[in-house]
Amino acid sequence: MPYVLEKISADDIQKIFRDLSHDDYSKHRLEIRGGHFNNHPDLKWAIDRKSNSYLFKAPTVMMSREYAYYFFYQGSVYHLVIDEPSGPVVYFKDPMDRTSRKQKRLEVALIEAFNLYRIYGNDLDREISFSIGEKT
């Protein structure tokens, strides 16, 4: 089943917090400053409900020019950033072994989700080609 772009509902928010139950850092970032979902009531996500995989814009770090995202895939949450939206290269915040077969499947799903979500989840008129890079 392909990804679809949907508004995140109250039930979806509860699902996200259940999925992030083992990730205190991500949960805390979603809860601070009044709550990410309360501050962005029209926030959307790219979700593949059959595979329980989704992508959405994460809270930004103060004074950062990076665009932050969470990608939930096969039971794990991945922290991602894009430094420059005009030439979007997606970077994993944590180092990854990009040679494994699992990692290749992860990257294919991630690009599929980003190609639908784009930068903000609402800029569907922009044609953007995403790639995955490595920070050094």
**Residues in CB range of 117: below 8 A, 6 or more apart:** 3, 5, 44, 45, 46, 55, 56
**In the chain, count of helices (H) and strands (E)?**
4, 7
Per-residue confidence in pLDDT tens, the chain, 136 aa: 599 999 999 999 999 999 999 999 999 988 886 678 887 778 899 999 999 999 999 987 777 778 899 999 999 999 998 877 666 788 888 877 777 888 889 999 999 998 889 887 876 666 677 878 876 6
In a 3-state reduction of DSSP, which class is residue 101?
A: helix
Q: Where would I find the beta strands (DSSP E) of the chain?
A: 4-7, 44-48, 53-57, 67-73, 76-82, 89-92, 131-133
Answer yes or no: pTM beyond 0.95: no
Give the CA angle between residues 125, 9, 109 to the nearest 5°: 55
Domain boundaries, the chain: 4-133
Name the DSSP letter for residue 39. Answer: H
